[in-house]
Chain A
Amino acid sequence: KAGVTQTPRYLIKTRGQQVTLSCSPISGHRSVSWYQQTPGQGLQFLFEYFSETQRNKGNFPGRFSGRQFSNSRSEMNVSTLELGDSALYLCASSKTGYEETQYFGPGTRLLVL
């Protein structure tokens, strides 16, 4: 069974630009969560989607948004990039999202200059 895939793996952007990251979950998984990982803050929850609906949201500004498609694939978008948005963005999938193991993708490394 194929794992979670994320594209692109690396990105370099400049301040003020926007970026879209993509995540394909494990087949049969309907819950997709996004996380930001930085050395200073560790893993922080961004949001979770289930059946094309955002079900939970972390404490991030509105510049961070996402969506999920009918095939469970998900995208997240960050608008008006700031230097502090430089991070590893991880996507994780699970069957239902409720108190179960999440399977992570390799992440997208975003560098904002």
Chain B
Amino acid sequence: GESVGLHLPTLSVQEGDNSIINCAYSNSASDYFIWYKQESGKGPQFIIDIRSNMDKRQGQRVTVLLNKTVKHLSLQIAATQPGDSAVYFCAENRGYIPTFGRGTSLIVHP
């Protein structure tokens, strides 16, 4: 889910569906990854993280998958709810400076 210019990729789902948001990261040396959720008018909020020695990590209704071979990260949201509507973006960390993806806009229709 990388964006070009002003337009973010958009994922529209129905309430109750499962959502999958993807992210390609750039630095093969990155070893810590985070998914953030940003609602309109608010700062980014931590959802879930994963270290490079793991392939999968589960939280409450969310799962993050890491594929280091192709430098790909995905966020799965189970039983998506209208309150999940927001922009989601991943961050890759190597050292002190995280690098953020552009984000994907998730729209959940009731």
* A interface with B by C-beta (< 8 Å): 4, 31, 39-40, 42-43, 45, 48, 55-56, 58, 90, 92, 97-107
Which of A39, A45, A100, A101 contacts B97 (CB under 8 A)? A45
Known: A43-B89, A56-B96. 20 other contacts (CB 8 A): A4-B43, A42-B3, A42-B101, A43-B44, A55-B96, A90-B43, A98-B95, A99-B32, A99-B94, A101-B34, A101-B46, A102-B46, A102-B98, A103-B46, A104-B43, A104-B44, A106-B41, A106-B43, A107-B42, A107-B43
Q: Let me know if B6 is at the binding interface, CB within 8 A.
A: yes
**Is there contact, CB below 8 Å, between A98 and B96?**
yes
Which of B6, B42, B93, B100 contacts A39 (CB under 8 A)? B6
Closest to A109 in B: B41
A43 with B100: in contact, given A99-B32, A99-B93, A101-B34 (CB under 8 Å)?
A: yes
**Is there contact, CB below 8 Å, between A56 and B43?**
no
Q: Let me know if B28 is at the binding interface, CB within 8 A.
A: no
Chain A to chain B: the 3 pairs with minimum beta-carbon distance, closest first: A104-B43, A43-B100, A99-B32
Complex Cα–Cα for A39 and B105 (A): 13
Q: Let me know if B14 is at the binding interface, CB within 8 A.
A: no
Q: Count contacts on B: residues with CB < 8 A to the other chain.
A: 26
Complex Cα–Cα for A23 and B6 (A): 28
Complex Cα–Cα for A72 and B97 (A): 18
Residues of B within 8 A of A43 (CB): 44, 89, 100
Residues of B within 8 A of A39 (CB): 6
B49 to nearest A CB, angstroms?
A: 6
Residues of A within 8 A of B41 (CB): 106
A51 to nearest B CB, angstroms?
A: 13
Closest to B31 in A: A99
Q: List 20 A-B contacts (CB under 8 A).
A: A31-B96, A40-B5, A40-B6, A42-B3, A42-B89, A42-B100, A42-B103, A45-B98, A48-B97, A97-B96, A98-B95, A98-B96, A99-B32, A100-B32, A100-B93, A101-B49, A103-B46, A106-B41, A106-B42, A106-B43
